[in-house]
Amino acid sequence: MNLLRLSATGVLVVTMSLTAGAQIKLNKNVLKSGSKVVKAVTLSDEEVIAYTREYIQWMDENNPVAPENDELAQRLKKLTSGLTTYDGLDLNFKVYLVKDVNAFACADGSVRVCAGLMDVMSDEEILGVIGHEIGHVKNTDSKDAFKTALLTSALKEGVASQGGAAATLSQSQLGELGEAVANSAFSRKQESKADDYGYKFLKDNEVNPWHMSMAFEKLLGDSGEAEGKKKGSQLFSSHPDTEKRIKAMSKKAEKDGFKRPE
């Protein structure tokens, strides 16, 4: 089963195969070695957002987006009703009809949820994951990671702003950007803060925040990171131990007086 790497860098990291079927597509056709020295490029927040929008447009064009009448698209639309804005961020949602158990959010407010995730999680658990991903955006983790990827991959040949506007990325650069973002990781502190944000996100939307812990339990069971088994799989190598995250969210819910759903 493909597993969710809880990051909001705007990329999907596939670690295992859920079933035979489509998976997230990243442009790998014209990747370069990256041997050139990175040039010093200063990017404004506005330029980073412009590149983010170009990136998510490429992702949407190169992955199967569920049409509006699709069952999963309708489910996500209902689930996120009233969430066009949250905490000052304009949001837009789409479903990718791929088997990856994954979701991601970008600095421009684009949130993409994979069919594989929707197949294995409840609506409330999906909202918890979405909240976590938005947390990375609001904590600037996404913007910082995306900017780093731009400076070390797509922009390594000196592509910079031209006339006050971000330069258009080529297909090759978009491919390199996808690879760089895919390999980025957040710190344990960043992940923990995003967990807390997802917890608050559920509370703000009147959803029992126990579902944050329950979403992690699904990932823990699917990853084989169970009692007595080897810890620190690739999926969680850069994140707090999943069991610790479960306990932290569970303890938080208990302290706030919430009862675990049956």
Cβ distance 57 to 26 under 8 Å? no
Cβ distance 253 to 244 under 8 Å? no
Cα gap 220→210, rounded to integer Å: 15
CA–CA distance from 114 to each of 74, 81, 96, 182 (Å)?
Answer: 14, 18, 5, 16
Beta strands (DSSP E) in 35-182 are 85-86, 89-90, 92-96, 103-105, 110-114
At 135, give phi and psi (nearest 5°): -60, -40
Residue type present at position 199: Y
- DSSP one-letter code for 165: B
Q: How far is CA 62 from the centre of its chain?
A: 17
CA–CA distance from 195 to each of 40, 188, 200, 240 (Å)?
Answer: 33, 10, 9, 11
CA–CA distance from 237 to each of 5, 46, 124, 135 (Å)?
Answer: 10, 32, 26, 20
Cβ distance 222 to 1 under 8 Å? yes
- For the annotated catalytic residues, the residue numbers are 133
